[in-house]
Structure 1
Amino acid sequence: MLKNSCSINTNNQNLLFQGIYHEKGKYQRNMCSYKEGVTILNISKEILSIQRLYSSGRISAEKAFREFERMLSEIAGFNSILFGKCQKDRVETFVCFDSISKPSSDLVYWNITQNLASNIVRAHIDALHRGEVVVSKETIQLDDADFVIDNFVLFPVFLDEGQEGFLLLLNTDTEALLRNEEVARLIADALGVVYLSEQQKGISNKEIGQTKKEELLDMLVEHSSDVIALFNVDWKPNYLSPSIERVFGFDRKQLMTPSFFEQFRSGAREFKKVVVNGVEKYRFSHHDVAGEKIWLESVFDTLYNSEGDIHGYFAIIRDISEELEGNKKMKETLEKEKALNEMKSQFISITSHEFKTPLSTIKSSVEICNIELERQLSKHPSEGKFRKHFNRVNSEVDRMNSLLVNLLNLEKINQGIIQVTVKDKKINSYLRAFLEDWVEHDTVVFESSLPDGFSYPLDVSLMNQVMTNLVENALKYGSRDRHVIVGASQDEGRLILTVKDFGDGIPVHEQEHLFKPFFRASNSNKYDKGSGLGLMITKKFIELQNGTVRFESEEGEGTCFYLTFPLA
């Protein structure tokens, strides 16, 4: 908020308060209406106390300003306060500003408000020179803004010989301020004392600080990989950073020659305006000294003099050739990957469909041969061998079909094209019908605590594949001496379906990978090979029906899968 940081000048402070003590009796007769029973002398003591805290370094200048602002707010409420320094007939700088309704980060509000304050000060500069307070109750509608200035009060602030300041309150209680004009003037002058103290300390350190700043700036500019350039109003170069030689290869002194630079500048091509992270930039192409094409990105800003006139331009230019080339290669890589994925999807789809037809034919033929063989058992003494091979072919066809179904389901999941159609199903009836063949062969037991009329919305097609995967896995990896148990129950507002086997279980260190595609537990090698896709598909199909899947497994004891669905 302050331009510099410094200690207080007690000489100025004494000058300010000379008049207060000299005419003490007079001020005592003017009671302050904002605090009952408080005299001008009391207020002067409060101001002096704040300044002593500031001069001793116990509070900052900003804190002192905030305390003075608080004192003003106790005289009369206001929306915004601005304190600054004048230069001839205009505002030179705003030292501090604050608002009860707008944060300092609201650049739009403060830009408009400071422009308004500048106009007010300019319009009433003669009154400020005369030391007069200006009060206006005229409503001001600000252009392109959603707020209105109903009134303002402008106080003159004496800073030093040849220096004047001002204190401007917007949308304030003008009557209360006028009743307490002397108090307000004291506070305004106190603001000026703190500002002068900051300014004087800043001047004493200015040369050292400026030298350090210039050295730091020079170092940053000299070592910057970006080109930093300053131009006059005719776009002739006043300064070009050394990095321009690294980017273009041309000699910097040569580029500073107006005629050569004009020819060089005309080589810019393919201008395009872009917005990067909210910042407007320009991209264009050029050629380096070797004739190689390079791409550049630039940011421009306009420079103004103290009179508000344009006196030049500032530019930062960066070589983005490698960045664009990297983006191009990345885009090409992504396009190739996309094409490969599309080819993979197409291959899986075509291959799966093409395999299913001959597999279906083979399976049908094997089944017909099996039937014919059973009719003529006495005529074929090698019936056992035939049946063994028929069963083997039949089993492999089933495995191939299962693999193809899983591959098709995996591809549908990847493409996000699985359609979910739920219908209310009576759970007990559905599971009994689904498990009927296994129950008849005495390999599966169904246990349910649900009432027979209990129903739940399910997608039967998806659930059939889920239950097939879980039951067949349980039969494959479970104990040959014990039944697989399929259960149905409800608990705490949830429908729970379970599939439990009493097999080898899953090793603890492998359980986290169970639902990953193509994963098979290390202790499953002694069983028929699977695709490693079934459990991943099971999990996805249950989640598509708003359910969850979890499992419990212990080596040597078996595994139980839990399918949970919310009832609410």
Structure 2
Amino acid sequence: MPVNVDKILASEKIAAMITDPKILILEDNDSDADLLCRELKRSGIRFTSKVVQNRIDYEQALESFNPDLILSDFALPSFDAVTAFDIKQSVRPLLPFIVVSGIIGEENAVSLINSGVTDFVSKNNLFALPAKIQRALKDTEIRLEKLLADEKLKTQATELVSANRELLFQNEEKEKSAQRLIRSNELLIEEKEKVRSVNQELSQLNLELENRVASRTKALAESESRFRNMMETIPQIAWTITTKGKVDFYNQRWYDYTGLDITQSRVDGFVKVIHPEDLESCLNQFNNLHKNLEGGEFQIRGKRADGVYRWHLIRLMPIKNREGKLLQWVGTATDIQELRLMQQQKDDFINIASHELKTPITSLRASLQLLDRMKSNPSPVMLAKLIMQANKSLDKVYTLINDLLNTSSVNESQLQISTQKYNLLTAITECCDTLLRDSAFKCKVEGDAILEIYADFSRIEQVVTNFVTNAIKYAPESKEIIVRVERFAEIVKVSVIDKGDGIPAENLPSLFDRYYRVDHSGNSYTGLGLGLYICSEIIKKHNGTIGVDSVIGIGSAFWFTLPIL
């Protein structure tokens, strides 16, 4: 398309150096526009600015404000940088136009530069903007000077034609005209030399600009690709924070976890997600880190898309340049809900174990102290009573330690099963007789008297013993305990039935979990909460199943099944 030089020279301002440029800012976000102006002022540039947000204001400002340079966001709600650039080209083709935007991708950045846009600056890299503005203004001045030189050359050529015409019509001025012609030719040669020099400089400048754009475009694309790959492949939620404390990027795991979209996250994402009780503490932690420019970590609760709050470990690290100046913050959130639950379980278990071991050990110690005092004059009655009490305490300690050892074996997959063939009903009867000897409780064993199975005798006895002792502990008013052995096809089912108060339905699914102890009507019972868990693992090792049926006010039936063969 031919260039209308007169129109350009009429519309563009020509000066040796634009010291106080007028900058037109096309930006729909007031905060971003204010950030641009503050960055330019901080760099020392003296300028006058005008901010517009739509096409009408933009076209009016091109005429009324008469800017020296345009800074434009890439995408606006009903307008974009490409359209704004085309409008500018039709009115002020030499006016510098710089796109200032977020991450727009390599393809868009290259397309803008190829279409004639002066330069591109990322909002995450605003410190480079002042230098690019100065360079753009300088480049524009050079191009205007070239146009002025071309215009002067045309003017001189016109004068030369006029001089030749005058020579033809005025013979008497022939000598003078010849001299003027010679002088004009000399001026023309000088101007041509100037134009040639300017053209060489412009060619060199264009080559440098092309190389610079290509290099920066490639570096930008590589840097953006590395950043996105890193942030999107880590398992944690990740985000970046500007030096002003504004979150400008979330990875996909944020959107997957919170269920928020980009707009919701940008407005007040963290306020919506962080538990209200943790919000103030979180802000104080970040302010302290921001003040000291140091990385750190803390724990908060974050709301999942389904409304459930889960504990997360927040880590924040400052990103600095070589001079130690803060560029941005990078944060990650790691889900530690299960870890906190395990930590709580561990603390609860330590408290329970300490309490459960302390009681029998204290009793044993007291018995031994009394025995020591009476060793020189022993009382047969008191001696037997103290020995019996000491043995009971030792039995409790042994039981607790045995539960711990069994649990350790289960956790390390070292629970050993040694199967043998034996009569199940006979073995259970002998176990119950031994267990309830000299006791107020009676055990009624009923079922198939000839049934034989292959199983670990001692382990199955351990399960039956646990079921019976639990019935005694949690249903003390049920003096008769029924143990029923039933055969169903190729499996046998053993049930231990009491007529106690029963167990609430909401507690049943957790009975066989490790460390679980039922809060039974406010009563306090001893134990580590490991017995039923160990029983469950023993039955699993035998390829059987375990469970409980209970009705409030009627009683409970703890049962397990085993394959007969």
Is the structural similarity TM-score above 0.5? no
TM-score (norm. length: structure 1): 0.39
Judging by fraction of residues, say which structure has more helix: 2
TM-score (norm. length: structure 2): 0.40
